[in-house]
Structure formats: structure tokens, C-alpha cells
Amino acid sequence: MVVTDGEPDDKLAVMRTIVAATKRLDRDEELAVSLVQVGKDPSATRFLKALDDDLVEAGAKFDICDTVTLDDMEDIGLTEVLLRAIHD
């Protein structure tokens, strides 16, 4: 689980790291990344959405990322956030 209040300085490095991690997996169930956004930075929202939705197009073997805002997490709870990451 990654909790962030903004976007990384090097977005490409983050994406490359996650893509590389997926290539070492045999099954997508081996690794799940939950990204929790604190705040409402639109640029950060777009980047996190890209991690959630576009990793396979970027070369990832599996879609292992799931994103949620802190506000949404408060409504659904930590357990549901983790289950969504595993089953997404």
C-alpha cells in the first residue's frame, strides 16, 4: 500500500519500476499495489489513474495497481481497499 499526497518527481521511473516488477511474476496474484491518494491534486489523480488503468499498455505483464482516494477509503474501509487490489 502506497499513500501519497502528490505525484512523484519522476513519473516514468515509477511506471518503469512497476512494469519491471510485473515481468518477474508468474501470476498477477503474486503482487498487488494499492495507491491511496491524499488530497485532490488533479495531476496526481491523472498519474495514479494511468498506473491503475494503463500499465499493461505500457508493457506490464499484469495489471497489479489499484487506486483509491483517501475519502473513498474512509467510506469503504481498509479491508475493502486491500481486497480490491488483490481481485482487480
Class of residue 83 by CB neighbours under 10 A (exposed 0-12, middle 13-18, buried 19+)? middle
The band of 19, judged by pLDDT with boundaries at 50, 70 and 90, is very high
State residue 88's pLDDT score.
Answer: 64
Cα four-point dihedral sign 41, 42, 45, 51: negative
State residue 74's pLDDT score.
Answer: 84
Mind listing the pLDDT tens digit for each residue in 34-80? 899 999 999 999 999 999 999 999 999 999 998 888 888 888 888 88
State residue 81's pLDDT score.
Answer: 81
